[in-house]
């Protein structure tokens, strides 16, 4: 049985008003996240996401329920991308 190598992912958050990177979060594929900041604008928020994960409502109406995605989850950056796009007007890209 061979181990599957998990892919490294990088989430980049760009400023809405200037073409600059505000923050870059990289997951090494093993559940470890590192972050580089070029601005302190989102530092407290990103630090909180990396410590506690994301808690969001999914579903509609009475079917809606809370979903918690911890920062070690393989889907963390994908869900964070969706969350940021839904909640803000920041330009966010996942590679």
- What is the residue-wise DSSP string for 28-90? -SSS-EEEEES-STTHHHHHHHHHH-EEEEESSGGG-EEEEE-TTSTTHHHHHHHHHHHH---
In this model, does residue 88 exceed pLDDT 90? no
What are 18's two structure tokens? 């200037």
Note if the pTM is more than 0.95. no
CB-based contact 69:54 (threshold 8 Å): yes
- Residue 2 has a pLDDT of 56
* The two structure tokens encoding residue 80: 């964070």
Distance CA 29, CA 39 (A): 25
pLDDT of residue 16: 80
Mean pLDDT of all residues in 12-34? 87
């Amino acid at each position: 049985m061979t181990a599957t190598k998990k892919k490294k992912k990088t989430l980049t958050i760009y400023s809405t008003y200037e073409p600059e990177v505000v923050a870059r979060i990289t997951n090494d594929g093993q559940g470890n996240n590192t972050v580089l900041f070029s601005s302190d604008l989102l530092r407290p928020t990103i630090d909180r996401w990396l410590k506690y994960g994301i808690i969001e409502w999914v579903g509609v109406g009475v079917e809606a329920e809370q979903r918690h995605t911890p920062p070690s989850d393989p889907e963390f950056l994908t869900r964070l991308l969706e969350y940021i796009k839904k909640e803000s007007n920041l330009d966010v890209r996942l590679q």
